[in-house]
Amino acid sequence: HPGEPGHRERRPASTVRARPGRRPGHSSTREEIARAAREQFAAEGYDRASLRAIAAQAGVDAALVAYFFGSKRQLFDEVIHISSDSPAPIARLLDGDSRRVGERLARLVIEALDEQDRQQRIVGTIRTAAVETGTARMIGDTFATVLLEPVVSQLGAGQAPLRAALVMSQILGLGLARHVIGLEDLTSASQEELVAALAPTLQRYLVGDIT
């Protein structure tokens, strides 16, 4: 009862304030923000994408983006980061005749670039790497050093760092030309056409003569 020791007056439910910016009842809000961020980073790059635009696309308050992800850089690192520790792609490359490893890698790259979620991550990273040395270093460390060099080493052709760097130059060049610049002959080409064109170069870089 009011006035009794320990009595605590309850506020009507309508006056209880929710956490600022939080949309009650939407458990998928974080995923919606992440999806919007990937699309914005892929379309605009890191510099031009803004937390306000990402929030607007996700239909939330900008404060909620910071609530879930912190800073813009933290958001970028989380939603764009491409894991290099999956054994499946490595096994796929090494499983089979080494004389066709270039074709397997070309197909893996083309399929990744054509799959929407992975394409957004890769394109967002490429756009950002063009203007941010830190992101460019991350690409080199993640792909060339961590993923490609061990694959090349297992193929036994020697000069693994150089071969990995040459392979990366082809993959990044294709991603830039087809999905960032949008060269018509590349955007209109089929997966099979691109695999056939890219495979011989990757084959030489992976196991062929590069001297």
Per-residue pLDDT for 23 more than 70? no
CA-angle at 198, arms to 195 and 204, nearest 5°:
125
More confident residue, 125 or 114: 114
Cβ atoms within 10 Å of 155's Cβ, excluding its own: 16
The model's confidence at residue 27, banded by pLDDT at 50, 70 and 90, is low
Measured CA distances, 166 to 2, 62, 123, 195, 211 (Å): 78, 41, 19, 17, 12
Per-residue pLDDT for 6 more than 60? no
SS3 of residue 26 by DSSP: coil
Q: Which residue has the tokens 């950002």?
A: 128
Measured CA distances, 46 to 32, 51, 73 (Å): 18, 10, 8
The model's confidence at residue 8, banded by pLDDT at 50, 70 and 90, is very low
Cβ atoms within 10 Å of 168's Cβ, excluding its own: 18
The model's confidence at residue 120, banded by pLDDT at 50, 70 and 90, is confident
Q: CA–CA separation, 30 vs 69, rounded Å?
A: 9
Q: CA–CA separation, 197 vs 174, rounded Å?
A: 11
pLDDT in tens, 50-98: 999 999 999 999 999 999 999 888 888 788 765 544 556 677 788 888 8
pLDDT in tens, 148-202: 888 888 888 889 999 998 998 898 899 889 988 899 999 999 999 999 999 999 9
